[in-house]
Structure 1
Amino acid sequence: MEVFKYTLDKGSKKFLCPNCTKKTFVKYIETDTGNYLTDDFGKCDREQNCNYYKAPPKGNKCYLVPILSLKSISDKATKITDANGIINIIPKSQILEQTKNDCWITEWFLKNSSIQYTSNEVKYFYSTVSNFVNEVKEAVQPQQAKYNFHSLELLNEIYFEKPQIDNLTEYLKLRFSNDEVTDAMQNYFITGTNHFWNNSTAFWQIDDKEKIHACKIMQYDRFTGKRIKEPYNHINWLHKATEPEFNLNQCLFGLHRINEDYQKTIAIVESEKTAIIMSILLPHYIWIATGSKGNFKFEMLKPIKKRNIVSYPDKGEYNNWLNKATELNAIGFKIAVSDLIEQTDFENGYDLADYYLNL
């Protein structure tokens, strides 16, 4: 289990941001002591309007190497046989963590070895004693949370047996042909529901193994296609109405579609509605959505790691998504980030669908 030397303060205290001077700055603290680092290390909460972020120096960069066996041959050296059957003698100081089937080896050693590692998972280790940890550590495996999934019977009941009219579908019929809208809604299993609000839209999160992770419910205006945000944001989850003890584990919206054509590029947007609209306008891509700007991350994107990906962040999110894509590309992803929306005069929050529907 990775333990960080520094972490962002999880308390409510905020400081003046060194960039925008607003009192929206969260400082880094030293994990062991709880002491704040200097005023320049931290993150501004004004992500779209300021976006200042400076992290403390990182520790040793290591890559996860699958192994067949690992054997100590002296008090300073270890013999490993990697997944390809290649044997290497490695100083124990360069193996910072190990499990039964893999180990974390420093980038410094790997650069001078024959081990293929550049596409492997990467992370950093910290030591206050020296540059390297001088003994092998058994990894502590975190206990796997037990997640819930919706049943196919529930999907069948809502989608096939008791379909409802929803405002988003009715709006799309004002912009596209009935056949285009019907095909798009079938591709994503979109239907209406009266849970929480009448004529709301149900967005099912179904993965590439056909497991149903979640169903997000949102209400839209029938004539403008905009989400209802007054007097509050109309977003909820089906499990809160049907399974209160449900342990949510989201996946990308539209993930089930990646098996349709392995040659197609996958296009990622934030909004589920935008993914649906773009699937009508540009069907040569497979369109999927993160559901929120914070879901553009490794855990969500892992199932599409081997695919060619192009992402279209909303206005104001380009730098955040570009930075995350750069990190992911360093471990084997193939993500291009479009700045199309960033170059427009739209306000922050506008997206690709807004661009095409306003042409």
Structure 2
Amino acid sequence: MTTHRFILEPYKGIATRHTCPACQRKRCFSRYIDTEKRISFPDHVGRCDHEQKCGYHFTPRNYFDEKPEAKQELYEKSSLYVSSHKIKTTSTSFIDEETVKRSLKCYETNRLYQFLTSKFGESSAMSLMKKYHVGSSKHWDGATVFWQIDRNNRVRTGKIMLYNPNTGKRVKEPHSHITWAHSLLHKSGFNMKQCFFGEHLLAADKIRPVALVESEKTALIASYYLPQYLWLASGGKNGCFNESSLSALAKRSVVLFPDLGATDYWQSKIGMIRNYGIEVQLFDYLENNAPESERKEGYDIADYLLQIQPDEAVLQTMNRKNPHLKTLIEMLGLELVNVQRNSS
């Protein structure tokens, strides 16, 4: 007998098992359903069957945290109060600092570090890794750990990813290389509650406006080029748009830099963000001007910034290839002459 309203869809053949949004494995993802058939959850609300290798689990509670208006609608439409034993409220789990410290090495084999070094030099690349507490993992040869450390310096979790050292792109073949530190550490009952990547920087810097992007890698790259902002990452299009995460940005000035294709979704969140006392703006120039080829590739601001070189002649060449680059540079107030500078 079902005792919970929201449950993982029972197995009724391969049509009830889907592709995991995190690891991209097929027929291993179970979606949550509403036994009262009043709510249809988005496709990313569910759990991956590969608990050790992937560990992705986006619960109905995560969904309602992300969309408080949906929770309110639930109460209005249903006479049944969703009690605490149905959507459990449990304490946030953390990872000990020693685990993080042990990962802050082996950068010479870290593929993301290799890519950043090729673009910015060893000193600046190392400064970025240390500033954001980016670690290395042996799970895949040359993998990177993006530790999520909140504003109270507590480690929420770590996202492990693998990059191509030459292109800086994620390795997606033969499968998407992404997993979670708490899964590899075999922490049973771990209640992951994500925070912004780079959130730990907020406490020490209360002046600079915050710039929010999707990708952790993009936050690193943009921090190098545009240090007038404090760069954080949401970890994805849907990430961290909830009360617990947004509270960290209360009374801050925030500029949103969504990936191409995600602008409308992030635009829809502005009202909710402002409800938390956040002064927010949306940078939509790229969305309004990018060619179709760049949209298909899902470009973000880092893809444009990486085209900028300190050599003015090279920059002029890039401007001819991409006429929007000059406008982008002027809008962001980027200093071209002194682009090779310390990222802190």
TM-score by length of 1: 0.61
Contact 2:194/2:240 (<8 A) preserved: no
Q: Give the distance between the partners of 2:246 and 2:77, measured in 1 at CA.
A: 30
Structure 1 residue 291, shift from structure 2 partner: 0.6
Contact 1:341/1:355 (<8 A) preserved: no
Question: Which of 132, 136, 144 is matched with 1:188 structurally?
Answer: 132
Question: Which of 279, 283, 291 is matched with 1:338 structurally?
Answer: 283
Question: Alpha carbons of 1:352 and 1:145: their partners in 2 closer, same or farther (altered >3 Å)?
Answer: same
1:156 aligns with 2:101: yes
Q: Give the distance between the partners of 2:96 and 2:103, measured in 1 at CA.
A: 11
Quote the residue 2:156 is aligned against.
213
Question: Which of 177, 184, 188 is matched with 1:241 structurally?
Answer: 184
Q: What whole-Å deviation, never above 9, does each CA across 1:91-121 have from its counterpart, x for those lacking one?
A: xxxxxxxxxxxxxxxxxxxxxxxxxxxxxxx
1:216 partner amino acid = K
Question: Which of 347, 352, 356 is matched with 2:295 structurally?
Answer: 347
Contact 1:208/1:256 (<8 A) preserved: yes
Structure 1 residue 332, shift from structure 2 partner: 2.6
1:262 aligns with 2:206: yes
SS for the counterpart of 2:151 is coil
Question: Which of 152, 176, 179 is matched with 2:123 structurally?
Answer: 179
Higher relative contact order (CA 8 A, sep 6+): 2
Question: Alpha carbons of 1:331 and 1:181: their partners in 2 closer, same or farther (altered >3 Å)?
Answer: closer
SS for the counterpart of 1:294 is coil
Quote the residue 1:286 is aligned against.
230
Contact 1:279/1:286 (<8 A) preserved: yes
Structure 1 residue 144, shift from structure 2 partner: 2.4
RMSD over aligned Cα atoms? 3.4
SS for the counterpart of 1:263 is coil
1:1-359 to structure 2, matched below 5 A, reads 34=37, 126=76, 143-159=88-104, 165-195=109-139, 197-245=140-188, 246-298=190-242, 299-343=244-288, 344-345=290-291, 346-348=294-296, 349-359=298-308
SS for the counterpart of 2:109 is coil
Contact 1:268/1:289 (<8 A) preserved: yes
Q: What whole-Å deviation, never above 9, does each CA across 1:121-164 have from its counterpart, x for those lacking one?
A: x95662799xxxxxxx9x9796521332110111122215x666
Question: Alpha carbons of 1:211 and 1:44: their partners in 2 closer, same or farther (altered >3 Å)?
Answer: closer
Q: Give the distance between the partners of 1:140 and 1:223, measured in 2 at CA.
A: 49
SS for the counterpart of 1:354 is helix
Structure 1 residue 355, shift from structure 2 partner: 1.5
Structure 1 residue 335, shift from structure 2 partner: 1.4
More helix by share: 2
2:120 partner amino acid = F
Q: Identical aligned pairs, as a percentage?
A: 31
Question: Alpha carbons of 1:127 and 1:218: their partners in 2 closer, same or farther (altered >3 Å)?
Answer: closer
Structure 1 residue 35, shift from structure 2 partner: 7.3
Question: Alpha carbons of 1:282 and 1:126: their partners in 2 closer, same or farther (altered >3 Å)?
Answer: same
Question: Alpha carbons of 1:329 and 1:172: their partners in 2 closer, same or farther (altered >3 Å)?
Answer: same
Contact 1:164/1:193 (<8 A) preserved: no
Could you list the runs of 5+ residues in structure 2 that have no partner in the other structure?
A: 1-5, 17-32, 44-70, 309-344
Q: Give the distance between the partners of 1:247 and 1:140, measured in 2 at CA.
A: 16
In our comparison, the structure showing a higher alpha carbon Rg is 1
Contact 1:165/1:191 (<8 A) preserved: no
* More deviation, 272-281/163-172: 163-172
Could you list the runs of 5+ residues in structure 1 that have no partner in the other structure?
A: 1-6, 14-28, 37-41, 46-121, 130-136
2:162 partner amino acid = Q
Q: What whole-Å deviation, never above 9, does each CA across 1:249-308 have from its counterpart, x for those lacking one?
A: 211100001122211101000000000001100011110001111114123222112211
Question: Alpha carbons of 1:127 and 1:289: their partners in 2 closer, same or farther (altered >3 Å)?
Answer: closer
Q: Give the distance between the partners of 1:268 and 1:127, measured in 2 at CA.
A: 34
More strand by share: 1
Contact 1:164/1:194 (<8 A) preserved: no
Quote the residue 1:114 is aligned against.
none
1:198 partner amino acid = D
Contact 1:270/1:314 (<8 A) preserved: yes
Contact 1:208/1:258 (<8 A) preserved: yes
2:306 partner amino acid = L
Q: Give the distance between the partners of 1:209 and 1:33, measured in 2 at CA.
A: 39
Question: Alpha carbons of 1:44 and 1:219: their partners in 2 closer, same or farther (altered >3 Å)?
Answer: closer
Q: What whole-Å deviation, never above 9, does each CA across 1:155-177 have from its counterpart, x for those lacking one?
A: 122215x6662001101111112
TM-score by length of 2: 0.64
1:303 partner amino acid = A
Q: Give the distance between the partners of 1:314 and 1:153, measured in 2 at CA.
A: 34
2:269 partner amino acid = K
Q: Give the distance between the partners of 1:314 and 1:235, measured in 2 at CA.
A: 19
Q: How many residue pairs end up in the alignment?
A: 248
